[in-house]
């Protein structure tokens, strides 16, 4: 059964911390929804 998986990332994440798990979820047939949080620049 396919599921939607939300992934919350910030600008302090290393790329591999997102890409590896997201790729594994997609290969397992799940839909990955990415939510980005960026710090505001004053």
List, in order, residues 6 or more apart from 26 with CB less than 8 Å away: 32
Q: Where are the domains of the chain?
A: 4-37
d(CA 20, CA 7): 12
Question: Mind listing the pLDDT tens digit for each residue in 3-42?
Answer: 999 998 888 878 888 899 999 999 999 999 999 877 667 6
Cα 21 to Cα 4, 29, 35, 39: the distances in Å are 14, 13, 15, 23
Q: How confident is the model at residue 36, as a pLDDT?
A: 86
């Amino acid at each position: 059964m396919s599921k939607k998986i939300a992934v919350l990332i910030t600008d302090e994440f290393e790329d591999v911390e997102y890409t590896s798990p997201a790729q594994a979820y997609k290969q397992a047939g799940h839909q990955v929804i990415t939510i980005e949080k960026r710090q505001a620049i004053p």
